[in-house]
Structure 1
């Protein structure tokens, strides 16, 4: 039996990373959820927003790489009123179910706590059950949802807040 591919996680952005994050989202969400090209464009636009506001003391990325390619990603983005947003949480299929997502979320929460944010939130869509389960395990709770056609398919956009952040 072949052992699973090795991976590493880094917390720095390198040239080419933003494009890879957008492409990863475009490919995975197209294949697995029938999202259209508009979703990849949305990710590209919002990554530019992140880059322009990037502050290494307030923001952090987690880039998962294996054999020189990006296979996962998540970031914490600072927002007004000392809030943090969780964005772009993704892992390609062959890296799921190995505890990598839990590790990323635990590291995200650790940085969140260490940075003394007062609150956190994220947006997601219906049908991402494994991710939602992980978010809820980490203390996020669904606050609202609304029907949407934003990404070329009918879905429910969902808003989650970190209700009981784990304090140090």
Structure 2
């Protein structure tokens, strides 16, 4: 990345921060009809979510300074909004919970917050609402210091998602490896063949979703009555090494066995080390390797195979 590119991206993030801070400030002004600050509302909401928590957990979950939180909790205790009791597992920690008065103070604030956000969403069409929520989830996922090992579900692509998969992979491989538009053309042809001529009994495509965001995909297509091939395999960069690729590969193998194929193949290139590791862990063996010109690059193309 050049210095100018880094500066441009930093300025874009700052611009978004200013916009979002201003927007949230406007929402808060409409919401704030109580004696609680925005931070106090966040702490009340965190405590209202369920079981009692320690100050250390609150500090971590809310990103607050421990000294500031300590003063805030002391004020809550004085107002009889919280109780503190020693933790049975760690006597150095106190478990904090809302009192009945604390719940009574939080409930109207929570209701008002929901009403304010719903009023904002009502200005948008349902499709735009889903687009906004999806973008928020992507921002949250990308900025999370520790990628979550949340539940990943596999399901068939919905309307528009086949085209999105072509776009997403074309962008990723262009940025990461410099592959040209012929790769996008190959992806588009694979998707077109599958959606127009695929056999739903013997071929399948999955998207891997976490928190309603697509984090990967894989497709099994027939080459003959006994041989199938894995296509369109990819994992979002920030979600790699979390077991999602293994989950997709295992599902491809199970499907191929169930349908009755005797051999499952996959083509990759030597430069894609992650793809090669997935093949090895899933029991595939590299049966051929040759230099070829593909996607505007000299690549070493490998064909991997697994007997079923």
Choose which of 254, 263, 282 in structure 2 pairs with 1:138. Answer: 282
Aligned partner of 1:55 in structure 2 is 199
TM-score, normalised via structure 2 length: 0.50
Q: Which has the higher contact order (CA 8 A, sep 6+)?
A: 1
Gaps of 5+ in 2: 1-59, 61-143
Aligned length: 164
Distance 1:133 1:10 in 2: 21
Structure 1 residue 56 displacement after superposition: 2.2
Structure 1 residue 11 displacement after superposition: 2.6
TM-score, normalised via structure 1 length: 0.87
Contact map agreement 1:11 1:60 (CA 8 A) in 2: no
Structure 1 residue 68 displacement after superposition: 4.2
Choose which of 200, 214, 232 in structure 2 pairs with 1:70. Answer: 214
Gaps of 5+ in 1: none
The structure-2 alpha-carbon separation of the partners of 1:10 and 1:137, relative to structure 1 and needing over 3 Å to count, comes to: closer
Contact map agreement 1:20 1:70 (CA 8 A) in 2: no
Deviations 1:52-84 (A, max 9, x none): 232222112220234544221101112213211
2:156 aligns to what SS in structure 1?
coil
> Which structure has greater helix proportion?
2
1:131 aligns to what SS in structure 2?
helix
Question: RMSD value over aligned CA atoms?
Answer: 1.9
Which protein has the larger Cα radius of gyration, Structure 1 or Structure 2?
2
Structure 1 residue 7 displacement after superposition: 5.7
Aligned partner of 1:46 in structure 2 is 190
> Which structure has greater strand proportion?
1
